[in-house]
Amino acid sequence: MLKKKLKNYKVILASGSPRRQQFFKDLNIEYTTQLKEVDEVYPDHLIGSEITDYLAELKSKAFENLKDKEVLITSDTIVWHKNKALGKPTSIKEAKNMLLSLSGNSHKVITSVCIRTKNNQKIINDTTVVFFKKLAEKEVDFYIKHFKPLDKAGAYGIQEWIGLIGIEKIEGSYFNVVGLPTEKLYKELIRL
């Protein structure tokens, strides 16, 4: 359906995430990928979805002049845990500390998407609550050794081994935790 709806548009996905790119393929959206370097810094007073909304819009602003019939899609995901945003870890040690902090606790995964055309912009977001079992340190070490926690907010991918053995339940969208609230994005693109 989206392919037909968007046939007169050039859809630009400004994300290097293989997970987001796969979602676009699965949604049958023809798109191009364009990346622009953005310093992902946000004001200290922002909390929760305010952070991801701000960053998704900031990434969008890197594309200054959209043409008619171009649709730009940018997004950002954080893990919100103990009133703090967890982005992508910068080291193995930080990844381990994040995972041990999430262990035995719940946290929120928040993703915002900015959909922009030449004349309009809309930001949507979604929040999913994730409950982790108490993880053994050897489970965390195994995950870090065999997977890539440094390219994921909160240092984990729900679709990977740690999600299979460690997540007891979620409240909300699974796909949001993977990195894109596909149902909400679909709804907005159908409205274009």
Query: What pLDDT is stored for residue 166 in this prediction?
Result: 98
Q: Could you give the CA distance from residue 189 to residue 90 in angstroms, rounded to a whole number?
A: 34
Look up residue 68 and give its two tokens.
Answer: 């008619």
Contact between residue 155 and residue 86 where contact means Cβ atoms under 8 Å apart: yes
pLDDT digits (tens, 9 = 90+) for 56-83: 999 999 998 899 999 999 999 999 999 9
Residue found by looking up tokens 């729900």 in the block:
158
* pLDDT for 174 beyond 90: yes
Number of domains in the chain: 1
Domain at 42, CATH number: 3.90.950.10
Contact between residue 113 and residue 72 where contact means Cβ atoms under 8 Å apart: no
Burial class (CB in 10 A: 0-12, 13-18, 19+), 181: buried
Q: Could you give the CA distance from residue 82 to residue 76 in angstroms, rounded to a whole number?
A: 19
Q: What is the mean pLDDT of residues 147-174?
A: 96
Contact between residue 23 and residue 75 where contact means Cβ atoms under 8 Å apart: no
* pLDDT for 86 beyond 90: yes
Record the pTM.
0.93
| Residues of the domain holding 35 | 2-190
pLDDT digits (tens, 9 = 90+) for 29-49: 999 999 999 999 999 999 999
Question: Residue 87 — very low, low, confident or very high, per pLDDT cuts 50/70/90?
Answer: confident
List active site positions: 76
pLDDT digits (tens, 9 = 90+) for 118-142: 999 999 999 999 999 999 999 999 9
Contact between residue 131 and residue 167 where contact means Cβ atoms under 8 Å apart: yes
Strand duo 10-13 + 70-81: pairing: parallel
